[in-house]
Structure 1
Amino acid sequence: MDELQCETLEELSLAIERYGPGVLFRGQAQHHLCSDGLPSLSTSFQRQGCVPDLMIKWTYYAKRALQHLVHGWKDTGDTATDQAILQHYGFRSFFLDASGDPRVAAWFASNSFRSEIRVNLVEDCFEDPVWLCTRSAWFTPTEDIGHLYLISQKSLRRLGIQAVHLSEIATGEGAPRYVRQDAYMVGPLIQSGLSGECILCHITAPAVVLSKYSANNSTEWLFPKPSDDPVYRELLAMPWEKMRNVPNNGLESFRRSLELPEYSSHLQKHMPARSAMYRPFWTRDLPPPPECQTSTKMVQLLCGSSLYHGASPPRLILPEINKLLKEYDEISIELDGLVYHGMGTQYGKGIGIVKMPEDIVCVFEYGIDHPGLRIMGIGRFYGLHYRIDSNGSWERVTHEDDCTCGSDHPENFSLLGRVDRSLKDQWLEYVKPGLYVQSGVEPTSDPRATWGEPY
């Protein structure tokens, strides 16, 4: 690995040019060393650790964003593009950020990231006041020496390390920040950081020189506003969740479902109806609506994000669920949260299975109308139908009440497989007749979560 010190803009330009094509660039305002004296280029997971529940939730919504916004995107289990959203919008990944543009790397080498939690007093769409907690973020120019690392793509290939250009997930409209940054995902790097064999050169230069080299790059350009960045816009549209650890004797406090750095304020004094503010609740604790008359024998399974948003292949034989269907007419698998679909004030709350004649069951999603703080209605989205044969195997059948959106909703059937396994392994624990609760999930509802008054 070469070590170069550049004092002028001309020296820096010549140093970068001498390495030619086939090079990726990473800029850092601080330099860290491994025990062997080589640069330590580690992933955010290696630096900050992994939070499994949050990673599962982030991954779920990252894939949903890619599905909505990237033409032709399919979930093929490509870790690099799946984790690109996590890496670039505020969480962590097993990959290292790099850029194909040395000017972008120079900007990061001459600016330091800062963030803090801010508390904002706003009103929901019904003019009820709440506190919304956000993570405000910004970059400040440094006055110290900055660091550029030139990474060899040939060396990456030789060691079997991917370098995925995120133009692969460019959106049909707008400019996600990873496109503006000409970003690459280098990895995955599980056990350790990037090998020193892949680093061609470590360049140091005064921050003022790096800043001049970065040309017109800025926070506003590299981190575009949600009006320009559709991925950012989608993540900001997700519901707010009540902070359970904050005393509830005054105004309630909420935070984003997925906390992400915000480089400018996106709140309004009067928040729109589509900004749901979720108080934790289970539908079993809500008073039945006056018009609701049902004698269905139901079992309820209460679960958290790790189970609900996890990933697993579909299973066609579900012995534990089949056992419950012999005893109950309906199975309700409910999430402690709202599932964002980009449908205004309508969200998912869980998956249901209801028995029908001729050994047919319908698998559907429960929907919640939740403008602002209020729960205005609960219903069912159209589902898909299956017949359970004598061996307990589920087979898709066509039905006049099938959902007509064109999707097979594989995520719903995959969830059934995880639930079945969780019942077998007693991760979903039996509490009493008609109720199972995932280990670690709070089974009680917030006392303020109840039906809202009409508009």
Structure 2
Amino acid sequence: MDEIRLSSCEEIRTAFDLYGEEALFRGQTEHYSDKSGCVSIMSSMVRSGCVPGHTQLWSYYAKEVIQAVWGHEPVPTPIVMSQAILQHYGWRSFFVDATAAAAVASWFAGYRLQIENCFEITADSAGTPVALVHEVGNCSAHDGIGHLYVLSREAICKAGIELHDLVGALPARADGIVRPIAQDAWLIGPLRALPSVSIIAHISAPAQAFRDYAESAGLIEMSRVFPSPAEDSILRYLFSVPWELIHGRVRDLPIYMRGLRLPEYSFKPLKCHPADEAFFSPFWIAQNRGGDLLQNALFLRAPRGRLFGDQGKCECMPELIALVRKHGMVVVESDLPISYPEHVGTMEYGKGIVVKAHGDRLIEISSLSLDLSGCCAEEIGVAYGWFYECSGHGKLSRVQHAEECPCPNQLRHENHLAIAGAAERWLSASCFYPNVGLSWAFVEPDQ
């Protein structure tokens, strides 16, 4: 590895000319070494660890993003694209991120990123006062030495490690300027850490010199590296996840945090938030069922992570189907709502699924929807679903039906089936117990 110490923007420009277009770059304000003194560049999941609940929720929303961006087009590497969303929008992945743009790497070598909690005293669209906790991302000019690493694509591949060009992988229909495009991003991995043989140069220089180089390429405002939700359709969707009530009060106001914790790089306080921004205080539809539609249904209440996490396929559901036959309708309700890309800009959210019997052999699985506007829950509904024929041992087989949901979103209905499968597993493990009336509560299984 070449150790190159420079002092000016022009020297940096000359150094970059030494490396061909096949190089990748990574900029940092700190230099890290392992016990043997070699450069240490680890994946964020190895550095910070896995928090299963958060990772599961991020993975769920990443799948939704992929469905929204690619539509019916084949996704080249769905697992990699899912990890890319986790890595670039605020969580962790088993990959190391890099860029094909030396200017982007120079920006990260010249600016220090900081995430700080910020309180906002504001109101919902109806004027109800609320306190919001934002995780605000700010950049400040680093006043020390910046570090930029030149990576060899050839050496990475020879080491048996995969390279993923995120810009090339994104379809042309990707809306706006999403963050991976703004950063000309690549992912390397999966891995624990980059092998030292793949790092062909370590360039150190005053951070100001790196900033000058980035600015010469037009990277002056932070929004050029972190586009705002108005420009970035992926970020806009992730921001649509409802805010959730947390413990404590500020000025006797309820406090909310984003349901999906992610840094905000373009935060601007608002006097009043729009109607399609939801602030959710915990409640169960099972305990306040509204009209006649759900009055006689059996409710299975469970944590969101147990229902929307990756639970795998389950085609036979004897326990669940037996309850559907007995009660006519079973609702599997999540404690917290879920946002869907197709409903961004509306007030509609998912709260679980409804499994309904149609005669002796037909079952419909559909979405339990909840309209939220600001702090107010306005309407409960049941969407159209997909139909399944139920054979022996509760085995479900998809069938076409005149009253099925006409939407083209196959992932949505596959997720509904997966939630039904999750409920079946928890029923089989005796994780639901009768609570009040036609309402069963979830209890964690013994470890």
Alignment partner of 1:324 is 2:323: yes
> Match of 1:284?
286
Render the CA deviation track for 1:379-435: whole Å, top value 9, x for unaligned.
Answer: 100111111113432122222221111334111112222222232234x33244744
Correspondence for 1:40: 40
Offset, 1:274: 0.6
The secondary structure found in structure 2 opposite 1:335 is strand
Residue 315 of structure 1: aligned partner: 314
Which residue does the alignment assign to 1:448?
none
In structure 2, runs of 5+ residues without a counterpart are: none
Q: CA RMSD in A?
A: 2.2
Partner Cα distance (1:24, 1:294) in 2: 56
Instruction: Map 1:158-173 to 2 at 5 A.
Output: 158-167=158-167, 168-169=169-170, 171-173=173-175
Contact 1:66 1:169 in 2 (8 A): no
Matches within 5 A, 1:154-233: 154-167=154-167, 168-169=169-170, 171-189=173-191, 192-214=192-214, 215=216, 216-218=218-220, 219-233=222-236
- The answer to whether the 8 A contact 2:244-2:281 is kept is yes
- Give the match's secondary structure for 2:105: helix
Query: CA separation of 1:202/1:439 partners in 2, compared to 1, >3 Å: closer, same or farther?
Result: farther
Q: Which moved more, 1:32-41 or 1:7-16?
A: 7-16
Cα offset, 1:188, TM superposition: 1.1
What letter is aligned with 2:332? Answer: I
Change (3 A) 1:157 1:439: farther
Q: Distance in 1 between matches of 2:208 and 2:360?
A: 75
Pairing 1:346–2:345 present: no
Question: 1:412: which partner in 2?
Answer: 416
State the 1:10 CA deviation. 3.4
1:56·1:310 contact (CA, 8 Å) conserved in 2?
yes
Letter of the structure 1 residue corresponding to residue 232 of structure 2: D
In structure 1, C-alpha distance between the alignment counterparts of 2:274 and 2:198, rounded to whole Å: 49
Cα distance, 1:176–1:325 mapped onto 2, change above 3 Å = same
Match of 1:141 in 2: 141
Identify the residue that residue 401 of structure 2 maps to in structure 1.
399
Shift in Å at residue 328 of structure 1? 2.8
Secondary structure of the equivalent of 1:34? coil
Is the 8 Å Cα contact of residues 66 and 78 (structure 2) preserved in structure 1? no
Aligned to 2:366: 364
Q: Deviations over 1:35-73 (max 9, x none)?
A: 111111012212221111111111111221232234545
- The residue type paired with residue 186 of structure 1 is I
Residues 259-270 of structure 1: matches in 2 within 5 Å?
259-270=261-272
Structure 2 contact 131–250 (Cα < 8 Å) conserved: no
Distance 1:292 1:318, change over 3 A: closer
Aligned residues: 434
User: What displacement does 1:247 show?
Assistant: 4.6
**Shift of residue 121, structure 1, vs aligned partner:** 1.2
Match of 1:153 in 2: 153
- Following TM superposition, by how much is the alpha carbon of 1:311 offset from its aligned partner in structure 2, in angstroms? 2.3
Question: Alpha-carbon deviation of 1:126?
Answer: 1.3
Partner of 1:382, secondary structure, is coil
Cα deviation, residue 14, structure 1:
2.8
Hey, what's the Cα distance between the residues in 2 that align with 1:295 and 1:142? 61
**Residue correspondence of structure 1 range 423-442 to structure 2 within 5 A:** 423-426=427-430, 428-432=431-435, 434-439=438-443
Query: Is residue 95–residue 188 contact of structure 1 (8 Å, CA) maintained in 2?
Result: yes
User: Which residue of the partner structure matches residue 86 of structure 1?
Assistant: 86
Distance 2:230 2:183 in 1: 17
Equivalent residue letter for 2:170: I
- Determine the C-alpha separation between the residues in 2 that align with 1:106 and 1:249: 43
* Whole-angstrom CA distance in 2 between matches of 1:263 and 1:230: 15
Deviation of the 1:30 alpha carbon:
0.3
Residue 107 of structure 1 aligns with which residue? 107
Distance in structure 2 (CA, Å) of the matches to 1:275 and 1:78? 29
> Which segment drifts farther, 314-323 or 353-362?
314-323
Distance 1:436 1:188, change over 3 A: farther
In the TM superposition, 1:60-71 aligns within 5 A as 60-70=60-70
- Name the % identity: 30
Matched, 1:421 2:420: no
* Corresponding residue SS for 1:140: strand
Correspondences of 1:225-244 after superposition (within 5 Å) = 225-243=228-246
Moved more, 267-276 or 27-36: 267-276
Check whether the contact 1:63–1:75 (CA below 8 A) recurs between aligned residues: no
Match of 1:300 in 2: 299
Structure 1 unaligned runs (5+)? 442-455
Whether the aligned pair in 1 keeps the contact of 2:433 and 2:443 (CA below 8 Å) is no
- The Cα shift of 1:334 comes to 0.8
The 10-residue stretch of structure 1 (111-120 or 397-406) with the greater mean CA deviation from structure 2: 397-406
Identify which range, 216-225 or 346-355, moves more after superposition.
Answer: 216-225
- AA partner of residue 240 (structure 1): W
Q: Partners of 1:175 and 1:223 in 2: how far apart? A: 9
Residue 383 of structure 2 is matched in structure 1 by 381
CA distance in 1, matches of 2:101, 2:408: 41
Deviations 1:301-360 (A, max 9, x none): 222232222224433212332333343322111111112124201111110101121321
Q: Show the counterpart of 1:118.
A: 118
Q: Amino acid of the residue matched to residue 100 of structure 1?
A: A
Please give the TM-score of this superposition, normalised by the length of structure 1: 0.89
Contact kept, 8 Å, 2:89 with 2:235, in 1: the verdict is yes
Give the aligned partner of residue 5 of structure 2. 5
C-alpha distance 224-247 of structure 1, shift in aligned 2 (>3 A)? closer
TM-score by length of 2: 0.91
Q: Which residue of 2 aligns with 1:128?
A: 128
Q: Write the letter of the residue equivalent to 2:27.
A: G
Q: Is the 8 A contact 1:110 1:208 kept in 2?
A: yes
- Measured in 2, the distance between the counterparts of 1:295 and 1:112 equals 55
